[in-house]
Structure 1
Amino acid sequence: MNLIRHTISRVALLLIPFIILGSVLIYITFRYIAYDEIDEFLLYEMDRINQHYALYTDVPDVNSIVRTYEVEAPFEAFFADTLLLETGDMEMVPHRELHFSLTHNERHLGIVLHHLMLGDDDIIQGALLLMVGMALLVVVLILVGVTSVTRTVWQPFFSTLGYIRRYEPVVAPDVLPSSTITEFELLNGTLNELLQRLYLNYERTKSFNENAAHELQTQLALIKTTNENLLNRLENDEEAMILAQKSQSVATRASHMLRSLLLLSKIGNREFRQTRPVDVATVAESILAGFGERIAMRKLSVEEHLNPVTLNMDEGLAEVLFTNLIKNAVVHSDSGSVVKIDLTSKSFRISNTAAPLDEDPAVMLQRFKKGKKGNTGLGLSIVSEICTLYGFSLRYTTSDTTHTVEVCFDPLV
């Protein structure tokens, strides 16, 4: 629901108590006017009867006279409400009565005049119809007025919104135009600052990634080269050889970790923007072929069911995504177990057999969550970042010794 419709719906809801209150006030007003008019008419009839009696000493034939009766003494005129049977509809109908006295031949007579009244249900119905009609008229006027005004007054807002939705921080942002409306001017000024900061942050992060990739990888390469030279010179010193091998292993792991961290940073910085159709089945088969030697060494069996699936994404990230998933299953599977891979148009699912987890599987998707073998845990974290980038959903579930990681291409699945 957009802002305008939401505003109109809220206004319509606010009209409900006003309709109720207005209906009550209109009911009271209608009832007061009805009583006042009928009482005035009955008093007029009473005066006319008195005047006629003063001239002719008899009571005229008036339709509003219901009955006459004898009383002991004259009394002040008074009004009363009553119900009379309507013979046509056979229902009780409200009437207004005026009782007054008249002295005729030394006898005191009570005369009753009556007049048909509107029923309370009729008054309530009329009040409700009037208020609902007025409320609908107000809503229609608001709807038409707001819709017509929106096209001109809100145009700067929609222009700004459209630009923000299209903007990518790979280029310097344009300066949003000024507006004569104070709120829009404040909005555009604030967004100009935010977009400029966003662009500068993107450039700084990109520059840091490039510098870190170059400088740190260079230093790690020097360390690895030095370690290799030490290993060649310390062939007769077993203890020194062990230390040099540990240093070489640490340098190799640090190099892999650095590449993974830089990749995570680039993904988070949205630096992968080139997309093309990627044949997932072909990519998966190529990766499995690359792990063929390790699969054979660990005596693993691979059951694959790969249907033709094409995804629009960066080709390099697709390679990283499915490599990490397959590598995770191959490395952590028990020797001699089965790795199952299923690829459909909706998801990529890979299952393997390994020791049960002692904690929630979702925790393993976090960065630097180490497994029992001391792994850094960046592989699944990279998978999670890539899934977030392309709107995929990632699930990691376990059942006893069966571990299943599933990437759903449709997040609603």
Structure 2
Amino acid sequence: MKRLLNKTLLYYTVFATIILLLSIPFLYWMMEKLYTDDVDEAILLRKKEFVTNNLRSLRINDIPVWNKFNRDIRILPDTVLSKPKDSIIQEIFFDEMVPEWEPYRVLYTKVQIENQPYILMIQLNLVESEDLIKTIIRLYLGILFSLLLVIFFITRFISNRLWKPFYDTLEKVKQFNLEQHNQPQFTVTKIKEFDQLNASLDKLIRSNLRSYTSQKKFTQNAAHELQTPLAVFQSKLDLLLQDKSLTQAQSVILQSLYEAASRLSRINKNLLLLAKIENNQFTEVSSFRLNELIEQSVPYFTEQATPKELVIEQSIQSDIALQANQGLAEIMLNNLLLNAIRHNIEKGIIEIRVQDRMLEVSNTGGSHALDAGGLFKRFGNSQTDAHNSGLGLAIVKEICDRYGWVVHYRFVLDRHVFSVKF
């Protein structure tokens, strides 16, 4: 994608080049006409000088000698040529001195020598004029091209100076992060349009920050306040399920309610966790090794995978040291493994691979790739699974973003692969 300045300069260069190319034929025609007019004036001046200085003293016997020593002014018999009299025309003659055919401007006019009619022919070579015109055009093109280059660089320099406030604003908007509350400070530019743009952006960002802060507080407060009622609700349901007087139909309904309450409780806990991550409440940072976390987690998830008869394979090819909150790193790893178990097929495979500062968790299941665009969004997964809160991968993404890790999904050889680049 091209920058606005580059696109403007491109249009400017294209149009300037077109105008330059179109001006060359016109310039050539104009200079040729001007030079031809000068040559015609010179011919008429020579005619005047001949009539004034030579015609009266010239005799018929002198004509052969005159023609021999005057190459460009010749006297011809009136009957030799049928040319228009008293007119200047352009003709091509063979020049024996070159030897080449060359263009001439020629005047034919009638004169009287000893009362006998003759034709005075005055000619001037145009080859020098063509060479001069070509030289002038080359010089013109060189000057014009140099001028275009100078204008191009001056325009680029001035445009860079003029557009600098805009690019400063654009860079600050790029660096703006709603979650970090880093309100950008825009520079006063003394340019009306840029100041209006900065004021509008500042107003928009402040409004979004207020809305985002209010939303986070509401989510955190709501999740916090729901904890106690949910716990009471679950405990009451648990007591009811232990009542031996319940019928089969009542037990089924209560069990369904209990599972829904459990899922709601998990969603509530995950929302609280997300709110704490966003509010930077996990400030403790320590050094630990990813391999040790995997060794601690695999035995637990092996038990979780038993009902589906899943096989967990490990390929640890490097030892990765991390600097982060160890609890959040465990949550990230556990959510990836739990996701691989829940969305796997019976007797499927889960592979944990560690290599080149990268963790990969892949699993069988399904024959099509998932929608990567909504995969890491909150409640972006299918909600058909009663045990799934829809927030596991969103938490993984939030943790990775916090520490600058890159989480990525791809579908390879009928396997869903989640990778985290540290």
* Residue 209 (1) aligns with residue 219 (2): yes
- Cα distance in 1 for residues equivalent to 2:341 and 2:380: 20
Please state how far the C-alpha of 1:392 moved relative to its aligned partner. 3.5
SS in 2 for 1:252: helix
- Cα distance in 2 for residues equivalent to 1:387 and 1:14: 50
C-alpha change, 1:116 and 1:69, in structure 2 (3 Å) is farther
**TM-score with structure 2 setting the length:** 0.76
Q: Which moves more between the two structures, 334-343 or 384-393?
A: 384-393
* Residue 397 (1) aligns with residue 411 (2): yes
Q: What CA deviation, in whole Å up to 9, does each residue of 1:368-413 have, x standing for no partner?
A: 54377565655455556767885846333264xx322243649xxx
Counterpart pick for 2:234 among 224, 234, 243: 224
C-alpha change, 1:97 and 1:350, in structure 2 (3 Å) is farther
Q: Which moves more between the two structures, 33-42 or 373-382?
A: 373-382
Please state how far the C-alpha of 1:227 moved relative to its aligned partner. 1.3
SS in 1 for 2:118: strand
AA aligned to 1:394 is H
- Cα distance in 2 for residues equivalent to 1:310 and 1:92: 88
- Cα distance in 1 for residues equivalent to 2:257 and 2:55: 133
Q: What CA deviation, in whole Å up to 9, does each residue of 1:260-291 have, x standing for no partner?
A: 45667888x79699798775444444432331
SS in 1 for 2:55: helix
Percent pairwise identity: 22
- Cα distance in 2 for residues equivalent to 1:313 and 1:24: 72
Query: Any stretches of 5+ residues in structure 1 without a counterpart?
Result: none
SS in 2 for 1:54: coil
C-alpha change, 1:45 and 1:208, in structure 2 (3 Å) is same
AA aligned to 2:90 is D
AA aligned to 1:52 is N
Aligned position for 1:187: 197
Q: Which moves more between the two structures, 188-197 or 66-75?
A: 66-75
Counterpart pick for 1:94 among 103, 119, 139: 103
SS in 2 for 1:55: coil
Please state how far the C-alpha of 1:250 moved relative to its aligned partner. 0.9
AA aligned to 2:312 is V
Aligned position for 1:62: 70
Aligned position for 2:419: 407
SS in 1 for 2:314: strand
8 Å contact from structure 1 (residues 74, 108) kept in 2? no
SS in 2 for 1:244: helix
8 Å contact from structure 2 (residues 309, 347) kept in 1? yes
8 Å contact from structure 1 (residues 397, 404) kept in 2? yes
Counterpart pick for 2:299 among 254, 266, 289: 289
- Cα distance in 2 for residues equivalent to 1:254 and 1:76: 113
Q: Which moves more between the two structures, 331-340 or 116-125?
A: 116-125
Q: What CA deviation, in whole Å up to 9, does each residue of 1:200-235 have, x standing for no partner?
A: 122112212211221233332221122123234x13
- Cα distance in 2 for residues equivalent to 1:43 and 1:290: 113
Aligned position for 2:46: 45
* Residue 329 (1) aligns with residue 337 (2): no
C-alpha change, 1:361 and 1:47, in structure 2 (3 Å) is same
Aligned position for 1:117: 127
Q: What is the alpha-carbon root mean square deviation over aligned residues?
A: 4.1
Q: What CA deviation, in whole Å up to 9, does each residue of 1:288-341 have, x standing for no partner?
A: 233132234544332222323467777665444433332222233344443223
Q: Which moves more between the two structures, 239-248 or 65-74?
A: 65-74
Counterpart pick for 1:255 among 246, 249, 265: 265
Equivalent pairs counted in the alignment come to 403
- Cα distance in 1 for residues equivalent to 2:130 and 2:174: 58
Q: Which moves more between the two structures, 196-205 or 1-10?
A: 1-10
8 Å contact from structure 1 (residues 31, 123) kept in 2? yes
Q: What CA deviation, in whole Å up to 9, does each residue of 1:237-272 have, x standing for no partner?
A: 2434433322211101122234445667888x7969
Aligned position for 1:104: 113
* Residue 349 (1) aligns with residue 360 (2): yes
Matches within 5 A, 1:283-322: 283-306=293-316, 307-309=318-320, 318-322=329-333
- Cα distance in 2 for residues equivalent to 1:130 and 1:270: 68
- Cα distance in 2 for residues equivalent to 1:391 and 1:66: 96
Aligned position for 2:17: 16
